[in-house]
Amino acid sequence: MAPHIRIALLALIYLLAAPLAARAGRQPVTILISIDAFRPDYLDRGLTPTLKELAAQGVSAVMRPSFPTKTFPNHYAMVTGLRPDRNGIVANKMLDADHPGITFTTATGEEPFWWSEAEPLWASAEQVGIRSASMFWPGATAGYRGVRPRDWFPWNENVTNRQRVDTVVDWLRRPARTRPRFVAIYFDSVDAAGHHHGLDSPELTTALRDVDRQIARLREGLAALHQPVNLVIVSDHGMARTSPDRIVWMRDLADPADYHVVEEGTVVMVDPQPGHEAALSASLLKSHPHVTCLRKGDLPERFHYGRNARVTAFVCMADLGWLVYDVFPKK
């Protein structure tokens, strides 16, 4: 995954719409938009004129995602202000010793206890009387200590980007007392196209064009409502080219009897089987081609990672463009 992502923060729409909005009595709305796995260089492909314009006319900056550079850890970091090691969402798949037999995944991690270690923006907003809404932002449906956005939907990948935008615009058509002041929107299509079809695929080109078109439609809807808005457009991580020829198998790193793999891929979360700590340590901590394994307490300080109890005893990191698997994933 690429080490940099770009944030575009736009106040231009608010400045243009403010005079009309003032007559309409509309208060500004903040809309946080995530385009999962949007690499910075996607802006230069000539496929995203709306995003290119927003970045040029607003304020843009480069940000380093938190470790690990995966979807759920970084999305929760963005809405809590805390790195994964402190917000509790330390991986896309994880275990918790206090809740044995339950596995967190991006598809099933809706139990509120997973999300209780850090307060997200919508919970902070709701607690001071600012109405919030979420269109699929990770963590919003689970709630934080009983607090959810006032408006939210359970995850459904079949809801198109157009439908997501239309829902947000409909929320903003409401009268002031039921209109959200903070809205979070999540687009996953660019990430899905990149993972399933590759960085130079027609499918990715289509996904980039579509998400740009939908953000243009959002702007048009806001302008029609004379709605002042602060748009914050972010991504959570980049993406690198991989190949079936660049895979390291866990069985080549250690005896399968010694370990339990919690999560695989670019960053691998590994625990020892009971009584096999010494054997696993001796195997994993050797020098291995294309992968580095460390005890969680020995991870580089710049990662700010390894102190949370949900982090496995060992963390293995593949070289850029490589993957580490225990079992090859199903498509």
By CB neighbour count within 10 A (0-12 exposed, 13-18 middle, 19+ buried), where does 298 fall? exposed
Q: What is the pLDDT of residues 147-164, one digit of tens each?
A: 999 999 999 999 999 999
For the chain, the structural domain boundaries read 5-234, 247-325
Annotation: CATH topology of 247-325: Gyrase A; domain 2 (3.30.1360)
Question: Which pLDDT belongs to residue 12?
Answer: 32
**Percent of the chain surpassing pLDDT 90:** 89
Active site residues: 71
At 317 the pLDDT is 98
Provide the pLDDT confidence category of residue 4 given band limits of 50, 70 and 90: very low
- 202-223, pLDDT tens digit by residue? 999 999 999 999 999 999 999 9
Instruction: Decide if domain 5-234 falls under CATH 3.40.50.720.
Output: no
Structure-token pair, residue 290: 């294309």
Read off the pLDDT band of 5 (50, 70, 90): very low
Mean pLDDT to the nearest integer, 106-129: 96
- pLDDT tens per residue, range 162-203: 999 999 999 999 999 999 999 999 999 999 999 999 999 999
Q: Mean pLDDT throughout 80-98?
A: 98
**pLDDT at residue 331, as a whole number:** 54
What strands, in cross-sheet order, belong to the sheet with 267-272? 259-263, 267-272, 314-318, 291-295
**Rounded CA separation 298/113 (Å):** 28
Instruction: Report the predicted TM-score, pTM, of the whole model to 2 decimal places.
Output: 0.91
* Mean pLDDT over the full length of the chain: 92
Give the model confidence (pLDDT) of 284-330 as tens digits.
999 999 999 999 999 999 999 999 999 999 999 999 999 999 986 66
Contacts of 311 (CB under 8 A, 6+ apart): 85, 90, 91, 269, 296, 305
Angle at Cα 93 formed by Cα 162 and Cα 101, nearest 5°? 125
The model's pLDDT over 8-42, given as tens digits with 9 standing for 90+, comes to 333 333 333 444 444 457 999 999 999 999 999 99
Two tokens, residue 122:
């919508």
